[in-house]
Structure 1
Amino acid sequence: MEAAYDEIADWYEQDFEPLPGLYRQLGELLGAGDGVCLEVGCGTGAHAETVRGLGWTPVGIDLSTGMLGYAIERLPVARANAERLPFADDSVPAVVSVMVHTDMPAYPKVLREVRRVLRPGGVFVHVGVHPCFCGHFADRSDPDSIVITPGYHDGSWTKKSWTDKGVRNRVGAKHYPLHELLNAVTDAGLRMERFGEGGEAAPITFSVRARK
């Protein structure tokens, strides 16, 4: 099975710039700990250093062989579908999902899998593009004046983007309005604890910490 990111793995590793404050948000919500921290959709393993610096042992899964070719230098990885995680029930103390939920048309199903593999009391951290200010409906060409156009509620998959320098225009993205994203977390049986927003005047990222 060929993954969409296989075609852009080299570009992602060499040229893609992470969003401002991304690692800080991940660190603040995940916090210090030990044991395995599973990253669903780990990509090139760019977040492994942050996770490891908090005391956790990062492990990643991803569908893209191209991305995993870079990730394997940074953390233990396996090629797997996030909708069917190769972990036993109640076996993992922490799971993170960083900038990938828009790549997953069945993210609610992924969240149910996250809950299944988490230990009781285990922590889950979601960091993703902000549902209200990032998407095919948001023109961010002027960071001081974000223009929101119709399309926020349609939940579509599209390559439409205000820039040709990002991921969305290359592989496409699924949009989840804020209420759908939060409902998916609670519907999966996860208890939300804290939230975060990061970026410029109009936030770029939205984060959630939840527990089983």
Structure 2
Amino acid sequence: MRAAYDEIADWYEHEFLPRTEGDPLGLNRVLTELLGRGDGTCLEIGCGTGVHAAALRGLGWSPVGVDLSAGMLRHARVRLPVALGDAGRLPIRDGCLPAVVALMVHTDMPGYPDVLREAARVLRPGGRLVHVGVHPCFCGGFADRADPAAVVVRPGYLDGHWTKQSWTDQGIRDKVGASHWPLAELLGAFLEAGLVLDGFAEGTGPTPTVLGVRARKP
């Protein structure tokens, strides 16, 4: 499979990431609230350039990453141990991990329900999965976030489609596209994977950009 992020990996590392310093979306707060402190290996699915590794280590975890994009992994290797792989077919044995995280990646994965099933497979009983992604109610091709204090939500939320439509040309969606999962479909995918939902959190701002979900393997 050819990874869309290969073509923008250097732009992502050197231009996009510096604009996100300081946790403007509240992602790290949501991650801390839902994942919490722990030890042992924490797998990051779709780790990209590995920018979240420091936050995971700060919570006591030992992060490892899997990503489909060799271009992104060129930058990630200096931040955490990584493997080139498909999130829908993880190169990891059953029931061995205490924690898995998926951070701002579910819209990049058209087969996200399969990814959740894989995450459930590799988690040990009682292990936790933390998903933090763009908020399905307020982010997508249907949402104009040019004014963060007054987000305009147009028709299209229930369509559940892939699009490159975006309110800005400074982000990622207009470059690689994104899949949209309405809230009910997204949460239903966790249940279909056999996971138990046990925690939620939202990002900062008058209209949150991120939604966090914690689930556990029975």
TM-score by length of 2: 0.95
Moved over 2 A (4+): 17-20
Q: Which residue of 2 aligns with 1:198?
A: 203
Residue of structure 2 equivalent to 1:186: 191
**Map of 2:26 onto structure 1:** 21
Structure 2 residue aligned with 1:106: 111
Shift of 1:10: 0.7
Give the corresponding residue for 1:153.
Answer: 158
In the alignment, the residues of structure 1 paired with residue 204 and residue 39 of structure 2 have an alpha-carbon distance, to the nearest angstrom, of 29
User: Within 5 Å, which residues of 2 pair with 1:37-186?
Assistant: 37-186=42-191
| 1:10 is aligned to 2:10 | yes
Cα displacement (A) at 1:115 = 0.3
Partner AA of 1:193 in structure 2: D
Query: What letter is aligned with 2:25?
Result: P
Q: Cα distance, 1:13 vs. partner?
A: 0.7
- Give the deviation of 1:2 after TM superposition: 2.4
Distance (Å, rounded) in 2 between the aligned partners of 1:72 and 1:23:
21
Which whole-Å deviations, capped at 9, do the CAs of 1:123-169 have from their partners, x for residues lacking one? 10000000000000001111111111111011110100000000000
CA distance in 2, matches of 1:20, 1:128: 11
Distance 2:32 2:71 in 1: 26
How many residues are matched?
A: 212
* Native 8 Å contact 2:41 2:64 kept in 1: yes
1:161-194, CA deviations, whole angstroms, 9 ceiling, x for partnerless residues? 0000000000000000000000001110111111
Per mean C-alpha deviation after superposition, the further-off stretch among 16-25 and 89-98 is 16-25
Shift of 1:28: 1.6
- Aligned sequence identity (%): 65
| Partner-residue secondary structure (3-state), 1:5 | helix
Q: Trace 1:28-39 onto structure 2 (pairs within 5 A).
A: 28-39=33-44
CA deviations on 1:79-114 (whole Å, 9 max, x unpaired) are: 000000011100111000000000000000000000
For the residue of structure 1 that corresponds to 2:156, the secondary structure is coil
CA RMSD of aligned residues (A): 0.8
Provide the secondary structure at the position in 2 that maps to 1:153.
helix
Q: Letter of the aligned partner of 1:197 in structure 2?
A: E
Alpha-carbon separation, structure 2, partners of 1:154 and 1:111: 21
Q: Which runs of 5+ in 1 are unaligned?
A: none
SS class of match (1:203)? coil
Give the deviation of 1:199 after TM superposition.
Answer: 2.6
Alpha-carbon distance between aligned partners in 1 of 2:57 and 2:115, rounded to the nearest angstrom? 23
TM-score by length of 1: 0.98
What code does the residue aligned with 2:5 have? Y
